[in-house]
Amino acid sequence: AQSVTQLDSHVSVSEGTPVLLRCNYSSSYSPSLFWYVQHPNKGLQLLLKYTSAATLVKGINGFEAEFKKSETSFHLTKPSAHMSDAAEYFCVVTILQGGKLIFGQGTELSVKP
Amino acid sequence: DTGVSQNPRHKITKRGQNVTFRCDPISEHNRLYWYRQTLGQGPEFLTYFQNEAQLEKSRLLSDRFSAERPKGSFSTLEIQRTEQGDSAMYLCASSLVLSPTDTQYFGPGTRLTVL
């Protein structure tokens, strides 16, 4: 079975400081991993995805994530937070291309001025 | 590419009533997915279609729930005899499977409130 655990339900950072959102996964097979972002009253938007190519994945808006098989982790980072980054972030796993997505519980990111 | 659209955006109903939601995927996308998201949780998979065939259903999809995609384009999700526990955001996504950019694109969701 596949699952993801987002280690923090809420993260608060100051504008201009680094962001780290943590995600651990469990999968019996080689997974595909994603990060999606959900702004209030807006649909889920794909930030980035890992599909067994480069382990360091760059996404939109300056976000990136590193796949670490030995640690079963896929943490999301950004060097410098912006106020517009405040949103809910979901770590997601799937094992089948085009198959169902399995979401983590979400991490709410707050950015203080 | 106009994105995935869902209607209605909000639905308030009384317990015991039937409701139907519609999802229009991105044109040419052959897969369509339904998810449910309750407050403070991540979305949970309900079912998905490839063209008009329903390929997988979650155990979350009780007998009161039925989904269709009759012509392989738009889809409907019907809930019969609604219960308060059905209150949630219902999300639709679509993708073009086996394409180099096989990614699920989500609609804005339909928020259901059962009184």
The pLDDT score that the predictor gives to residue B99 is 61
Tokens of A37: 């972002």
In chain B, which residue's Cα lies nearest the Cα of A92?
Answer: B42
Give the one of A49, A100, A103 whose C-beta lies nearest to B42's C-beta: A103
* B31, B91, B103: residue with CB nearest A49: B103
Is the pLDDT reported for residue B100 higher than 60?
no
Contacts of B108 in chain A (CB under 8 A): 41-43
**pLDDT tens, per residue, chain A with 113 residues:** 788 999 999 999 999 999 999 999 998 778 889 999 999 878 899 999 998 778 899 999 999 999 999 999 999 999 999 999 999 999 999 877 668 899 999 999 999 99
Q: Among residues A8, A2, A1, which one has the least CA distance to residue A90?
A: A8
CA-nearest residue of chain B to A105? B42
Measure CA of the first residue to CA of the last residue in chain B; give whole Å. 36
Please write the tens of the pLDDT for every residue from A14-31.
999 999 999 999 987 788
C-alpha closest to that of B23 among B79, B64, B74: B74
| Distance in Å, alpha carbon of A75 to nearest chain B alpha carbon | 17
Residue type (1 letter), A3: S
pLDDT confidence of B102, banded at 50, 70, 90? confident
- The reply to whether B11 touches chain A by the CB within 8 Å rule is no
> How much of chain B, in percent, has pLDDT values that exceed 70?
97
Average pLDDT over residues B78-104: 88
What pLDDT shows up at residue A73? 95
pLDDT, residue B79, reads: 97
**Which chain A residues contact residue B88 at CB under 8 A?**
none
The rounded mean pLDDT for chain B is 93
B21-69 pLDDT, tens digit per residue, is 999 999 989 999 999 999 989 999 999 999 999 999 998 889 999 999 9
What is the per-residue pLDDT for A92? 95
Are B42 and A46 in contact (CB < 8 Å)? no
Tell me how long chain A is: 113
**Positive or negative torsion for Cα B45, B5, B86, A42:** positive
Residue A93 bridge partners (DSSP): A33, A102
Our CA angle for B93, B94, B99, nearest 5°, is 140
B44 touches chain A (CB under 8 A): yes
Chain pair A-B, CB pairs under 8 angstroms: 51
| pLDDT band per the 50, 70, 90 thresholds, residue B1 | low
Q: Please indicate whether, in this complex, the C-beta atoms of A97 and B97 are within 8 angstroms of each other.
A: yes
